[in-house]
């Protein structure tokens, strides 16, 4: 009888230990998952004025690259990519050899003149030169942030190829070559930032275009419009928040349409984009108003 009680007690203790083990294992697992969640680099966050709440919601668009390339006059360290399937920021450091006097050239603005991001083997289709911003100088190292947009709706599947180099100082008109070296980096993207999408649909139910919105930009395409000038089409675009408030997007715009030279016929073959000055908080966005249509948006 005592043996049976002892056996039952051992089994009970065994179950308790097993439960504790599961709980502890689960706790460790959760902590590990949290620590593995990527966070936006502090220098990107400061430059783009990313709020703490935005940073928490944008983690799917962050990827640590951590690749180096060395040449005679320059060493490049690509640190982080931040974006989605069609647009991306890339943060990188360039360390110049001591024969280059950065303090002397500091006011002239040293920039890479070759800066492209494309799908490997798809340069002619998706590749596009990027914008370059200098966000820090420390000794012989300059930190840059480049912004890229795919010429297509998204970059091709597979690895991305970043090409940068041919550094010059003094601007575009009287630029002085600092280092002609070109560096290449490739990686498999895991940046899956959110893009909201919706179709432009007439009252008759015909789809005549589409709209997509990311934290970085708004893109649109339409077969036709009631407008006769592209600038008026752009002015019709408003972002509708979840409270129903319409706000005009602020930023640089591009694109165009087939216009009647006399300005009498409606526009056709319309396509364009607006790059936001400040990152957009997508959780607040419900729809886009464009050319008199209200387009509800949903996550793609």
- Domain residue ranges in the chain: 42-187, 196-299
Contact 117, 128 (CB under 8 A): yes
- Cα–Cα dist 109/91, whole Å: 17
For 76-88, the pLDDT digits (tens) are: 999 999 999 889 9
Average pLDDT value for residue range 151-160: 80
Query: Is 297's pLDDT higher than 80?
Result: yes
pLDDT value of position 36: 58
pLDDT band at 157 (very low <50, low <70, confident <90, very high): confident
Could you tell me what percent of the chain has a pLDDT over 90? 61
Q: How many CB atoms lie within 10 A of CB 195?
A: 23
- For residue 51, the model assigns a pLDDT of 84
Quick: pLDDT tens for 96-128: 999 998 877 666 689 999 999 988 765 544 455
Q: Topology of domain 42-187, per CATH?
A: Immunoglobulin-like (2.60.40)
pLDDT of residue 125: 46
């Amino acid at each position: 009888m005592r043996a049976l009680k002892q056996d039952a007690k051992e089994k009970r203790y065994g179950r308790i230990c097993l439960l504790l083990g599961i709980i502890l294992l689960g706790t460790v697992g959760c902590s590990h998952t949290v620590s593995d969640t990527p966070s936006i680099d502090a220098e990107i966050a400061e430059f783009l004025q990313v709020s703490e709440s935005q940073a928490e919601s944008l983690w799917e668009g962050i990827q640590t690259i951590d690749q180096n390339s060395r040449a005679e006059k320059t060493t490049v360290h690509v640190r982080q990519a931040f974006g989605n399937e069609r647009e991306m920021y890339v943060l990188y450091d360039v360390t110049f050899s001591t024969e280059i006097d950065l303090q002397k050239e500091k006011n002239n603005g040293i920039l890479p003149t070759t800066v492209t991001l494309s799908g490997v083997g798809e340069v002619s289709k998706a590749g596009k030169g990027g914008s370059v911003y200098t966000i820090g100088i420390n000794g012989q190292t300059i930190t840059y942030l480049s912004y890229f947009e795919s010429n297509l709706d998204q970059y091709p599947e597979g690895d991305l190829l970043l090409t940068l180099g041919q550094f010059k100082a003094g601007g575009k008109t009287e630029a002085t070559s600092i280092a002609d070296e070109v560096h290449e980096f490739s990686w498999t993207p895991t940046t899956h930032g959110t893009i909201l999408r919706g179709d432009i649909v007439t009252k008759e139910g015909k789809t005549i275009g589409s709209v997509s919105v990311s934290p970085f930009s708004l893109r649109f395409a339409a077969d036709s419009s009631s407008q006769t000038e592209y600038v008026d089409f752009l002015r019709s675009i408003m972002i509708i928040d979840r409270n129903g408030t319409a706000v005009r997007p602020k930023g640089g715009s591009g694109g165009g349409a087939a216009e009647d030279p006399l300005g009498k016929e409606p526009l056709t073959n319309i396509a364009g984009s607006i790059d936001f000055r400040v990152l957009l908080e997508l959780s607040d966005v419900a729809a886009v108003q464009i050319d008199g249509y209200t387009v509800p948006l949903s996550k793609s």
